[in-house]
């Protein structure tokens, strides 16, 4: 139903004096979507009994503290799940190691902290506040691979040839030390030759060589994955800039070589982890992205751009089309990527078992895949860590199949709800920014079209809203001209009319 005059006037009243406590709104959104934003007394009591992690080599593990480990993450991140290092091999290849924080060492199954984590299953990152899956005394302290502290970890080791193919892999416990905590933006600009080396890199030729070696291995991994059909998707992600309660801008995160490096290493580590568990006849929590139901619409989008795709879904054909479009029109490529992502649908967690057919990950063009590299932030990764430890001991699995299936369903459901919370608070922040711009016109891209409504993303600033007039006939990927007719920060409504 279209808003009547009184409704529209009520929304436009925000233009006069918009006010919203965005942090309180974020907490309420968590509650509305079934999350527990606060840690209860049982968790607090348990935290008081947790000691520091052992700074000794784990049983059956290795002492790898002398390696030139480093982390690359957001500049504000303190919940560091993994660190990386690369060793040169003959023939131009490298042995890459990804050390993953041993969260299970301090968060055992069945504990109060584990129960809270198993309920929420994920950290939720909103525009106003972060709601961590684990208490910060753990996630940003005792279970974080922070700089210059000894930490127990599970290490995934993969041999990468010069052509990007992977050879042997191994997984084992170790004691590690992060030698340099780095950030995506400064390392990305340096790797791309757009800025001088950050201070820590400039001060250490060994660290600089290490990062270049990691970058070379990551690029080889990425190139081979794309040749095999992995989709080179690239979207624009925006983050509201807050000054007190005021939203002053939407800051776009730029994908760069540093972000790609970590992404490529995490994909390699997760593939190796799934293979390692399968080889030991252990079940795992598989991450799948199924063949897209709306492949026909993807074919239509390609046809509009002068290309043809096969009638049956093909990741390799889609990857080739996307690569050509990225070269042909790099400015609009993120918008095309967003349309494809919407049409692919979201991923989900399912029970994985050796010898059983896998639905695979369509976007990454891999078969067996799991999540293992972020146990501070995702419950599926913490569960994977427990499965790994059980497999290394040679006993039975840490969870029976029915429990793993239930965990997989819960993680999928909570991940979907977390996206809704993040999207809602982002829209509330965007509405605060746009409330004084009602009546202005924008170029936009259709990002959703169903009986429930039609949605568009404005290109500048990058915000999403609903088309409440003139939406008939629109479909995902269409470009339209729209006018902002209402912005309601309290409800996160941003309404457009098609011009």
CATH classification code of 1-15+416-499 = 2.40.50.140
Q: Closest by alpha carbon to 72, among 176, 17, 169, 147?
A: 147
Q: Closest by alpha carbon to 174, among 381, 380, 388, 374?
A: 388
Mean pLDDT of 21-41: 96
Angle at 430 between CA 429 and CA 433, to 5 degrees: 95
Q: How confident is the model at residue 72 (pLDDT cuts 50, 70, 90)?
A: very high
Alpha-carbon distance of 308 to 304, in angstroms, equals 9
Q: How confident is the model at residue 214 (pLDDT cuts 50, 70, 90)?
A: very high
Alpha-carbon distance of 190 to 324, in angstroms, equals 27
Mean pLDDT, the chain, integer = 91
Contacts 24+ apart (CB under 8 A), 449-456: 449/474, 449/475, 449/476, 456/480, 456/482, 456/496
pLDDT at 4 over 50: no
pLDDT at 85 over 70: yes
The pLDDT value recorded for residue 26 is 95
Percentage of the chain exceeding pLDDT 90: 74
Which residues face 125 on adjacent strands?
A: 130
The pLDDT value recorded for residue 15 is 38
pLDDT tens-place string over residues 473-484: 999 889 999 999
pLDDT at 52 over 90: no
The pLDDT value recorded for residue 437 is 93
The pLDDT value recorded for residue 6 is 32
Distance of CA 150 to the CA centre of its chain: 27
Mean pLDDT of 340-346: 87
pLDDT tens-place string over residues 149-193: 999 999 999 999 999 999 999 999 999 999 999 999 999 999 999
Mean pLDDT of 433-447: 92
pLDDT tens-place string over residues 235-284: 777 777 777 767 777 777 778 999 999 999 999 999 999 999 999 999 99
Mean pLDDT of 46-64: 92
pLDDT at 11 over 80: no
Provide the residue ranges of all domains of the chain, joining segments of one domain with +: 1-15+416-499, 33-282
Rg (CA), the chain: 23
The pLDDT value recorded for residue 331 is 75
């Amino acid at each position: 139903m279209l808003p009547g005059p009184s409704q529209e006037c009520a929304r436009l009243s925000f233009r006069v004096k918009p006010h919203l406590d965005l942090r309180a709104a974020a907490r309420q959104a968590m509650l509305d979507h079934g999350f527990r934003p606060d840690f209860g007394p049982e968790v607090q009591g348990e935290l008081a009994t947790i000691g520091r992690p052992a700074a000794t080599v784990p049983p059956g593990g290795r002492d790898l503290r002398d390696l030139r480990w480093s982390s690359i993450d957001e500049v504000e991140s303190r919940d560091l799940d993994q660190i990386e290092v690369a060793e040169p091999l003959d023939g131009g290849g490298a042995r890459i190691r990804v050390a993953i924080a041993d969260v299970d060492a301090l968060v055992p199954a069945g504990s109060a902290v584990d129960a809270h984590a198993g309920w929420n299953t994920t950290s939720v990152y909103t525009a106003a506040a972060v709601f961590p899956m684990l208490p910060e005394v753990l996630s940003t302290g005792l279970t974080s691979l922070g700089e210059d502290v000894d930490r127990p970890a599970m290490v995934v080791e993969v041999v990468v040839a010069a052509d990007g193919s992977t050879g042997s892999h191994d997984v084992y416990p170790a004691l590690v030390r992060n030698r340099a905590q780095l950030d995506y933006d400064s390392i990305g600009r340096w790797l791309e030759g757009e800025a001088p080396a950050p201070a820590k890199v400039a001060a250490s030729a060994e660290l600089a060589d290490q990062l270049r070696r990691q970058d070379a291995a990551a690029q080889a991994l990425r190139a081979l994955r794309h040749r095999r059909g992995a989709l080179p998707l690239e979207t624009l992600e925006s983050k509201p800039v807050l000054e007190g309660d005021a939203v002053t801008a939407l800051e776009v995160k730029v994908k760069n070589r540093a972000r790609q490096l970590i992404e490529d290493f995490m994909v390699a580590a997760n593939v190796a982890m799934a293979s390692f568990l399968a080889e030991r006849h252990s079940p795992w929590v598989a991450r799948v992205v199924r063949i897209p139901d709306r492949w026909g619409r993807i074919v239509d989008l390609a046809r509009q751009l002068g290309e043809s795709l096969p009638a049956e879904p093909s990741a390799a054909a889609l990857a080739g089309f996307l690569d050509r479009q990225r070269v042909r029109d790099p400015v609009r490529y993120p918008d095309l990527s967003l349309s494809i992502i919407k049409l692919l649908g979201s991923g989900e967690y399912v029970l994985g078992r050796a010898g059983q057919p896998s639905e695979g990950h369509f976007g990454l063009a891999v078969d067996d895949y799991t999540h293992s590299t972020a146990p501070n932030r995702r419950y599926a990764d913490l569960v994977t860590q427990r499965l790994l430890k059980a497999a290394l001991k040679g006993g039975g699995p840490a969870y029976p199949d029915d429990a793993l299936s239930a965990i997989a369903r819960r993680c999928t459901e909570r991940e979907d709800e977390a996206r809704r919370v993040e999207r809602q608070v982002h829209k509330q922040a965007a509405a605060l920014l746009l409330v004084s711009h009602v009546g202005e016109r924008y170029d936009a891209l259709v990002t959703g079209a169903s009986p429930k409504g039609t949605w568009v993303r404005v290109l500048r600033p990058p915000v999403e809203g609903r088309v409440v007039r003139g939406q008939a006939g629109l479909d995902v990927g269409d470009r339209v001209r729209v006018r902002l007719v209402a912005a309601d920060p309290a409800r996160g409504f941003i309404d457009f009319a098609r011009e």
